[in-house]
Chains A and B, each alone.
Chain A
Amino acid sequence: MSDHKPEKKAKPPRAFGWVAEYTDDSKLLEAARKVRDSGYSRTDAFTPFPVHGIDEALGIKATVLPWFTLFAGATGTSVALLMQWWTNAYDYPYIISGKPFASWPAFIPVAFELTILFAAFTTVFAMLGLNGLPKFSNPLFTNPKFDRATDDRFFLWVDSRDKYFNTDKVKSLLESTEPVSVEEVREDSSSPEIPKAIFTAILSVILLTLIPGAILLRMRSARSDAPRWHVFFDMDFQPKKKPQQTTTLFADRRVQRQPVPGTIARGELDLADPYYLGYDPDKTAALGAAEATRMVAFKVQDAVVQDPQPDPTAKVPVVDKPADPQPVAGAGPAAAAAEPNYAWLTEFPIEVNDELFALGKKKFEINCAVCHGFGGYGDGLVSQRAVNLVQTYWLQPTSMHSDNVQKQTIGRIYYTITNGKGRMAGYASSLSPRERWAVVLYVRSLQRSQNAKIEDVPESRRNELSSK
């Protein structure tokens, strides 16, 4: 092979250059220096390990690779910081662990890792790229001797494209450097293309790996009447019952269980405590079926509820009652409904004192006196004017001093204030429970003051009264 003349090989296989083989890296270095001194620059060495000093000997320039690493690392840092800021502080900000949205100290670890990741991958791929790898077709590989370039032999190469290249001169130069062999490298006669079988195999593997993704994309984008296709059910299907379903587990076949008797739900103490109700719900329930019936009616029939306890004591003895026509629809027949049979409170559930009295007076005069009058006789200014105008629909407000009202327990009065009665609206929204109890206290004291007997006056002062 080494004796081919340039004219012969000019046509079919092109010559690439000459390669000399050495047994030792120091011989290679010597030869490389010699070749370089002879003016050749398109040279290279092929060695099983990086030979120290070969770069100088061949005149290989330093690589730009570190710049790739630098820029990739900087890109990694920027991408990481921008990504973390954008995702956590801008696009989807939420408060967690007391850190600010743009929590730069907490962003450091990921920024560091991405810097390394980008820089490392770029370094490797840039190294391969600058080296022109992967490159599976290399004319040098056609020479079986060259297999030892990765084992224990060192090769020096002079390219035929060198501007001073002269086959004979190169050959004799190389032969003068104590090589084991000197050979010419010819064009690889085999096709540089990837063999069809391998190409097909790679292509089909790539296509096959695309299939699952394509199916997923199609499933995500297309409409279908078929039920959803679950790989993992997650929480979509669970062995559980929902509130309105039936079950065989319990005798009543309800899934939803009733609360234990006496249970009070959070925020619903006003439905269960005498202080809020004016009566004792437990005792009321024990009184009999009347209350239970009412509760059922409450759920079934709204009409009954609207006015469950119309005032049976419409006859107020104090003030003349005008006509009492009851023009509001439905009120008439219902007026006969029975007084609720509740276990009314007879004692104040809160401490009674001057402060409570003062509060009651104030609230009564604000809320009640306009109709019921300051004395509680049902002669408030509104009522007086209505009577003067002869408003036929007007129903005389109840006097606090009627027998009926006087007989009522404080719980009953509280209930009236809370829920209203007849035409009177409930005052639960205007007065707090404490204020309502205060008004009850004031009503009681009004009743006492307006219906006082001589016995109520201390004996020592009765004379004063009679004298006036």
Chain B
Amino acid sequence: MATIASNKVIDNTIDTPGRRTQLVTGNQTYGSLTHMVARISEEAQPLAWWVTFLLAVPTLGMFGGLIVYLFLTGVGVWGNMSPVFWAWPIVNFVFWVGIGHAGTLISAILFLFRQNWRTGINRAAEAMTIFAVVCAGTFPGIHVGRAWLAFWLTPYPSLNLWMWPQFRSPLLWDVFAVGTYASVSLVFWYMGMIPDLATFRDRSTNKFRRMVYGILSLGWSGSSRHWMRYEKAYSLLAALATPLVLSVHTVVSFDFAVSQLPGWHTTIFPPYFVAGAIFSGFGMVVTLLVPVRAIYKLKDVITLRHLDNMNKIILATGSLVGLAYATEFFMAWYSKNPYEVFAFWNRAFGPYWWAYWIMVSCNVISPQLFWFKFFRTNAVAMWIVSIFVNIGMWFERFVITVTSLSRDFLPASWGYFTPTWVDLGMLVGSFGLFFTLFSLFCRYLPIVAIAEVKGVMSQHAHAEHRHGHGHSHGQSH
């Protein structure tokens, strides 16, 4: 049996020149790796899972209840009030869509860049993407006022309306961008899972499980011809998803940037939003995977090296976001447009100064800790920073949406937004939806892309073999 072994190098966060970094630690074999991942859905779930699940499901129930309450009563249950008509629902939407960027980024862009470390985390990150997009899609859906007519957004020949959607509006672009992103991410995720679902099928000991996973894996046999087309399809999807993932938050930013409002109407928004989205997405991946690798004992697959790399991306994108904040102020000053200048002065020192400075400290200052290796490789420290990143990115969307709307051109129409308990309940409830889906994913589906990790293990073994560094490429049986 092939073993990918290294008894000497335990800390794989250190790069040794001329050597490939070990991405799977602990002398794992193909068989032991399969077992490590597949057993999660075969054995009884750990206590932490039950705690998460049993907290998430009632929260999801509350979310559903609040949506019913909203439908029966109307959008007045929210704090949305003139002049702030886009309030928490849109803040939550952009927040969740942003989080949903990491998964496809990891599976597509890092794939194109041949970053092999992505294989350990891409499945969980893609799942996170799907669930985050589900949460995101909920908010504009219920924000349209009469959510049961939301299907009017689709261009279908209507016998009642005799009209068509308005394709010159960024709000409709958003429908297409998020819709495409959600569905393409879903097929990408599912396609990536087919071989691992086949693994689950073949390990099944009871008939029902074998049948369900058998149907889900579509009869995957691992044929080399299938693998060849599969890999080609994967590359094509990665190439398609790469511009897609960059386009989604670009289009989301158009919702704001195409309007005339000071603080929104700015050309920096697309790159600024994309950087923020990657930043928040990786923040959420770290938030999720640090506990997941501990609870499910996946530290040999999701190694410190993976987390270290992600933290470096968080540092880079967090600094990009900080640069964007600074650039916004520069542009406001340089434009000499009094409304623009006021909008940004008002952000930092107006009635929402607290939100602005929470955003800056969480998004710009806290990731700077990742310059130090201790913070990049210490699970607790990075987890805390990642929580700050999540908080900060929520506040960034709050700052952009609410401060700009609350004080626009006419001082007579200025206002101060106050959320209601329904607003708060829905934000919390969306986390209920997210964690319910994520718990179910951990319970029933392969958390790690087993086949892809095996491919990386094989590459590593062959590379080590060629280099002849004496690492055992042994065999048994």
Q: Which residues of A contact B (CB under 8 A)?
A: 23-26, 44-52, 54-55, 58, 60, 62-63, 65-66, 69, 73, 83-84, 87-88, 91-92, 96-97, 99, 103, 106-107, 109-110, 112-114, 116-117, 119-121, 123-124, 126-128, 130-131, 133-138, 140-141, 146-152, 155, 180, 198, 220, 231-232, 234
Contacts and interface: CB of A to CB of B under 8 A. Distances in A.
B219 A134 contact: yes
Contact of B2 (A24, A103, A120, A124): A24
A131 B183 contact: no
Nearest to B465: A26
B219 A133 contact: yes
A6 B173 CA distance: 64
A81 B415 CA distance: 41
13 contacts: A46-B224, A49-B452, A51-B458, A84-B167, A91-B164, A97-B168, A109-B254, A116-B240, A124-B188, A127-B230, A130-B229, A150-B198, A150-B220
Contacts of A133: 218-220, 226
B55 interface: no
Nearest to A220: B159
Given A24-B475, A52-B459, A114 B240 contact: no
Given A135-B219, A151-B199, A220-B159, 17 more contacts: A45-B224, A48-B34, A49-B455, A50-B228, A51-B224, A52-B455, A52-B458, A55-B224, A63-B229, A65-B229, A110-B172, A116-B244, A134-B219, A138-B221, A149-B202, A150-B195, A152-B1
A152 B455 contact: no
Nearest to A131: B226
The 5 closest A-B pairs by CB, nearest first: A87-B164, A152-B30, A134-B218, A127-B233, A147-B202
Interface size class of B (residues with CB under 8 A): 35 or more
A149 B222 contact: yes
Given A26-B462, A109-B176, A123-B240, A46 B223 contact: yes
Contact of A23 (B180, B183, B198, B475): B475
B247 interface: yes
B228 to A, nearest CB: 6
Nearest to A55: B228
Nearest to A88: B167
B237 interface: yes
Interface of B: 1-2, 29-31, 34, 71, 146, 148-149, 155, 159, 162-170, 172-173, 176-177, 179-180, 183-184, 187-188, 191, 195, 198-199, 201-203, 211, 214-215, 218-233, 236-237, 240-241, 243-244, 247, 251, 254, 450-452, 454-455, 458-459, 462, 475, 477
A49 B177 contact: no
Contacts of A220: 159
Given A88-B166, A128-B218, A231-B148, A60 B228 contact: yes
Contacts of A232: 71, 146, 148
Contacts of B165: 87
B251 A65 contact: no
A150 B222 CA distance: 7
Nearest to A101: B168
Contacts of A138: 219, 221
A93 to B, nearest CB: 10
B240 A119 contact: yes
A287 to B, nearest CB: 44
Contacts of A69: 236, 240
Contacts of B462: 26, 52
A156 to B, nearest CB: 9
A47 B459 CA distance: 15
Contacts of B176: 109-110, 113-114
Given A87-B164, A107-B167, A152-B30, A48 B240 contact: no
Contact of B199 (A52, A55, A140, A150): A150
A43 B247 CA distance: 43
B38 to A, nearest CB: 8
A180 B476 CA distance: 11
B180 A114 contact: yes
A201 to B, nearest CB: 11
Contact of A50 (B231, B237, B475): B231
B189 to A, nearest CB: 11
Given A23-B475, A112-B247, A128-B218, A49 B451 contact: yes
Contact of A46 (B173, B219, B221, B240): B221
Residue of B166, B221, B477 ringed by the most chain A CB atoms within 10 A: B221
B31 A152 contact: yes
Nearest to A115: B240
A58 B199 contact: no
Nearest to B459: A52
Contacts of A103: 167-168
Nearest to B188: A120
